Structure 1
Amino acid sequence: MSALSQAQRTKGDAYLQEGKSTLKKSTWFASSTEQKYEDAAESFTKAANAYKVGGWNDEAGAAYQRAAELYRDKLKSLNEASKCLSDAGECFKKSNPTEAVACYRSAVTLLCDAGRLNQAAKLSKEIAEIFENDGAAEEDGNGGGGNPAIVAAIASYQQAAELFEMEKANSQASSCLQKVAELSSGALDPPELLRAAEIYESLGRQCLESNLLKYNAKTHFLNGILCHLANGDSIGASQALTRFDSLDYTFADAREGKFAKQLVECVEAFDPEGLATACFEYDRISKLDPWKTSMLLKVKRSIEGSAGVGGDGEDDIDLT
């Protein structure tokens, strides 16, 4: 423990005691009572700041919570209360993710009540990221299966997207929806591939409405087709391919469009070798990310199963 850390702990303890003593004072008038609560909240905030500087994250978070309670319940200041809760969540995030989520959620409620939707959206995204990281760690530890943390992450990303959309923050909303699609299709067990396909198609259509973003539509459309194929629905994939060709006249001749068409043809022909070759050629130019690779593995397994090709599991599948 460094001298600075201990000094900040001592300073934090002093401010905390000052806040507690202030609350015990007797007052006779409404104005003096309000001033008492303001002084106590300020002391708790100073304590939290001192603890934070010293690296005492749990103590800092708890002090911010004390201040938030006064601002919310006694002083009716939603802005100050939400700020303290947000600061508390930031401190707890380093040591106590569960408590951090509770603080962030309380802050989101207050921010929504105050009409500060953009900040509420950012905190909802923060909550989603905590759950996503927790879900990834849980999956690494137990080998997958039902994962409540991933379900919670998806719900929080969805909430963040809706709040961003209300504020016309379309790029942030799209980013959150991409996470919903990615986690729904790649991290849930069983996956919600149809939901993901619909999101990717919607995102692609939105991109086409902007001259700056229209080139991103091809990636979203390819991802949507991958979801249909991974879901064992080559007809849905073929229909989607036709739709995307009509929506974006450049899609058919683009690398993504050609790759999507090859994949659909290989699935319809029950041709796992052709699919592996198409993946290898595409990967040489445009590196396949982990999500696409996981979808393609699902597609190849479905082909091999339909064609009666043997295999003991994912480790036996070589896309390249």
Structure 2
Amino acid sequence: MSTNEQKAQQLIAEAEKKLGAKGFFSSLFGGSSRAEDAIECYQRAANLFKMAKNWSSAGSAFSEAAKLHLQSGSRHEAATNYVDAANCYKKTDVNEAVTCFLKAIEIYTDMGRFAMAAKHHQSIAEMYETEAVDLDKAIQHYEQAADYFRGEESNSSANKCLLKVAHYAAQLEQYDKAIQIYQEVATSSLESSLQKYSAKEYFFRAALCQLCIDHLNAQHALDRYIQQYPAFQDSREYKFLNKLIEQIEEQNLDGFTDTVKDYDSISRLDQWYTTILLRVKKQLNENPDLC
């Protein structure tokens, strides 16, 4: 055990001792100051545990401080300590981190601080993306974050979360959900001169998801998109999509592959695009008569 951990353990014992002092006179004199002293001990201990990289013990100490703050009615401080605890637990125990974030979120929503609640739903979603991969839960928390951000008129932050939802919904073959979001965000982007250009990417992604369902749907969607955004018709993305649809209609698997290769040689396709296009190609290969 390091020196910092030993000091932290002493502070934990000191906090427990202060909280253990009971009786009529202790409650009459100095009860609240003992709680404040105990909170300070837990917080100091937590920071010492952090210095020693003992993340689990640091999270536990911050949680104890949060509980005491909550008992004394200091809700903002309690939420802050629960977030501190969650950030420590993130390094060792995702489930405990989520529990602490959710406790903080409950306090923030009760206080009407929805932007803070949204931010921490976003943090939970990010953990489900990476540390404990669970895309369904990531989607759930990104959707909740987007809902709170939108309620606070933080539309840019809401759209960022919704794009994450669409990204993972498409990966999970929830194409209708992904299409709806990409179309909504594209439409929203067209209303802003700064974000207008990004609509091209969202219409592109939506059309690729349409291709996973049916190429005729994709063609009809493209017609709608150029009505909304005429400049899209001149883009490489639009021309690429039309060529893909042409190859599908001709049941030309080699032509489809060559079209993708040609596009990729100029505009590098990332993993998401590659996954979606491989699914379209697989459908063409397995069910050519359906095209």
* TM-score, normalised by the number of residues in structure 1: 0.85
SS of the aligned residue for 1:60 comes to helix
For residue 248 of structure 1, what is the amino acid of its counterpart?
Answer: Y
Q: CA deviation at 1:266?
A: 2.3
- Distance in 2 separating the partners of 1:239 and 1:18: 70
For residue 65 of structure 2, what is the amino acid of its counterpart?
Answer: A
**Which of 263, 274, 279 is the aligned partner of 1:293?**
274
Which residue of 1 is the match for residue 41 of structure 2?
43
SS of the aligned residue for 1:251 comes to helix
For residue 198 of structure 2, what is the amino acid of its counterpart?
Answer: N
Q: CA deviation at 1:269?
A: 2.8
Distance 1:46 1:134, change over 3 A: closer
Q: CA deviation at 1:285?
A: 1.7
Which residue of 2 is the match for residue 79 of structure 1?
76
Please tell me whether residue 56 in structure 1 is matched to residue 54 in structure 2: yes
For residue 201 of structure 1, what is the amino acid of its counterpart?
Answer: Q
Which residue of 2 is the match for residue 12 of structure 1?
8
Asked whether the 8 Å contact 2:94–2:132 carries over to 1, the reply is: no
Q: Which has the higher helix share?
A: 2
Please tell me whether residue 249 in structure 1 is matched to residue 230 in structure 2: yes
Please tell me whether residue 206 in structure 1 is matched to residue 204 in structure 2: no
Q: CA deviation at 1:134?
A: 4.3
> Unpaired segments of 5 or more residues in structure 1?
137-148, 309-320
Which residue of 1 is the match for residue 127 of structure 2?
130
Which residue of 1 is the match for residue 211 of structure 2?
229
Q: CA deviation at 1:230?
A: 1.2
- Distance in 2 separating the partners of 1:116 and 1:218: 34
Which residue of 2 is the match for residue 112 of structure 1?
109
Which residue of 1 is the match for residue 147 of structure 2?
162
- Distance in 2 separating the partners of 1:211 and 1:234: 31
> Unpaired segments of 5 or more residues in structure 2?
none
Please tell me whether residue 102 in structure 1 is matched to residue 102 in structure 2: no
1:246-285 matched pairs, under 5 angstroms: 246-285=227-266
- Post-superposition Cα deviations, 1:131-187, rounded to whole Å, max 9, x if no partner, equal 122454xxxxxxxxxxxx22111101111111222222222222211111111111x
Which residue of 1 is the match for residue 164 of structure 2?
179
For residue 21 of structure 1, what is the amino acid of its counterpart?
Answer: K
For residue 175 of structure 1, what is the amino acid of its counterpart?
Answer: K
Asked whether the 8 Å contact 1:9–1:54 carries over to 2, the reply is: yes
SS of the aligned residue for 1:252 comes to helix
Which residue of 2 is the match for residue 311 of structure 1?
none
* TM-score, normalised by the number of residues in structure 2: 0.94
Q: CA deviation at 1:42?
A: 1.6
1:294-309 matched pairs, under 5 angstroms: 294-307=275-288
Which residue of 2 is the match for residue 121 of structure 1?
118
SS of the aligned residue for 2:205 comes to helix
- Distance in 1 separating the partners of 2:132 and 2:6: 37
Distance 1:228 1:172, change over 3 A: same
Q: Matched residues, percent identical?
A: 35
